[in-house]
Amino acid sequence: QSAIARSSSSSTYVRARAYSSDSVPERKVAVLGAAGGIGQPLALLMKLNPLVSKLSLYDIAGTPGVAADVSHINTRSEVSGYAGEEHLGKALEGADVVIIPAGVPRKPGMTRDDLFNINAGIVKSLCTAIAKYCPHALVNMISNPVNSTVPIAAEVFKKAGTYDEKRLFGVTTLDVVRAKTFYAGKANVNVAEVNVPVIGGHAGITILPLFSQATPKANLSDEDIKALTKRTQDGGTEVVEAKAGKGSATLSMAYAGAIFADACLKGLNGVPDVVECSYVQSNVTELPFFASKVRLGKNGVEEVLGLGPLSDYEKETLESLKPELLSSIEKGIKFANQS
Ligand code: NAI
């Protein structure tokens, strides 16, 4: 009898282990710029993610406090904080996913391109360290202008001999989050069920939500679609103006960044059919980088999906965004190769 009891309890134990966090792979996520407006709530959301086993928080200053604070939350991951460049290597070592919200945000009247002079240099130095300390990590680029910082990262990795186009992502999830929210409001449908792909890039007119493919379907007028498109493109500016000099979107961006990082982790862990929009190296159009739906897998990008059928308005808008997006890409490439 005791033998039966022992064997049943040991099989229960095995089953319990199979479903506990012990069976979820170890994953280290590093957040660079973790003490900032986006970095702090993003650190919180990543601490709540059960797929993360190590959470590494890096900033040039202020990270010990954020790390101590977040580390008291009783969830799976072990938290470490690193402040100052001399600790960047340690922060990155062994990272599976690196999220980069480091750099200055916009103030009223600024475009994302106005941030180029400061953020391009920050991204370049952080990516140089990524190439050295965690060359196989998936990189989630949040720092603006994303249209240029992703090409900068690609050039830095190419120079270091570590570039893998499957592992570099511009985070455009906030555009998707906004498109979903605004569409649900206008179409009067349950926001939790809404899907809207957003393609192109991540700045002003380069952001192109495909409302013709939005689900659930709704009969919106051309005027409504145009207004929704414009609001999605200007969503960031709406927040910048409301914050009146105190920065740009941080809370909604942290949410969007956490969704995208979670999708990357699921892909790495072999969860099938994980699809998110992202700005990646692409041949969906003639532009070398372009945002569209991407299937995520064990190596990062598994497949860059096509655009699907576009309405006449979307076709026209797509053509008109290409020159600006191309010039932002070229600006990034030029910067990376010049300095
Ligand atoms: P913030 O100024 O509040 O925080 C930025 C943080 O980066 C600061 O803590 C700063 O110390 C840190 N930092 C600066 N240089 C660094 C370096 N070399 N290494 C590590 N950390 C460094 O700015 P916020 O609001 O968090 O925005 C960060 C970036 O995210 C901006 O470039 C902003 O434009 C961008 N952003 C992107 C969005 C997107 O959809 N992709 C949406 C909203 C903002």
pLDDT at 333 over 50: yes
Residue 173: its H or E element: helix 173-187
Q: What pLDDT, on the 0 to 100 scale, is given for residue 23?
A: 81
Selecting among 72, 87, 136, 202, the annotated active-site residue is 202
Q: What percent of the chain has pLDDT over 90?
A: 92
Higher pLDDT, residue 87 or 12: 87
- The reply to whether 299 sits in an annotated binding site is no
At residue 12 the predicted structure's pLDDT band, cuts being 50, 70 and 90, is very low
Q: Active-site residue 202, yes or no? A: yes
pLDDT at 6 over 50: no
229 lines ligand 1 (CB under 6 A): no
pLDDT in tens, 192-233: 999 999 999 999 999 999 999 999 999 999 999 999 999 999
What is the rounded average pLDDT of the residues 48-69?
98
Query: Predicted ipTM?
Result: 0.99
Q: What pLDDT, on the 0 to 100 scale, is given for residue 2?
A: 36
- To 10 degrees, what angle do helices 116-133 and 146-160 make? 40
Q: Which residue has the tokens 């692409």?
A: 282
Q: What pLDDT, on the 0 to 100 scale, is given for residue 15?
A: 39
What is the rounded average pLDDT of the residues 289-309?
98
Q: What pLDDT, on the 0 to 100 scale, is given for residue 324?
A: 98
DSSP string, 47-58: HT-TT-SEEEEE
Q: Taking a C-beta distance cutoff of 8 angstroms, is the pair 133, 93 a contact? A: yes
- The reply to whether 106 sits in an annotated binding site is yes
177 lines ligand 1 (CB under 6 A): no
119 lines ligand 1 (CB under 6 A): yes
Q: What pLDDT, on the 0 to 100 scale, is given for residue 22?
A: 54
pLDDT at 119 over 80: yes
- The reply to whether 17 sits in an annotated binding site is no
38 lines ligand 1 (CB under 6 A): yes
Q: Taking a C-beta distance cutoff of 8 angstroms, is the pair 89, 129 a contact? A: yes
State the Cα–Cα distance between residues 35 and 44, nearest whole angstrom: 11
pLDDT at 33 over 90: yes
Q: What pLDDT, on the 0 to 100 scale, is given for residue 202?
A: 98
Q: How far is the CA of 143 from the centre of ligand 1 (A)?
A: 6
Distance of CA 94 to the CA centre of its chain: 19
**C-alpha distances in Å from residue 315, one per residue of 31, 51, 74, 312, 329:** 37, 39, 49, 5, 21
What is the rounded average pLDDT of the residues 101-112?
94
214 lines ligand 1 (CB under 6 A): no
Q: How far is the CA of 124 from the centre of ligand 1 (A)?
A: 14
pLDDT at 331 over 80: yes
Going by C-alpha positions, the residue among 261, 207, 200 that lies closest to residue 235 is 207
Higher pLDDT, residue 17 or 228: 228
Q: What percent of the chain has pLDDT over 70?
A: 93
What is the rounded average pLDDT of the residues 296-304?
98
pLDDT at 60 over 60: yes
Q: How far is the CA of 290 from the centre of ligand 1 (A)?
A: 22
pLDDT in tens, 303-324: 999 999 999 999 999 999 999 9
What value does the mean pLDDT of the chain take? 94
What is the rounded average pLDDT of the residues 158-179?
98
Q: Which residue has the tokens 């470490």?
A: 80
At residue 339 the predicted structure's pLDDT band, cuts being 50, 70 and 90, is low
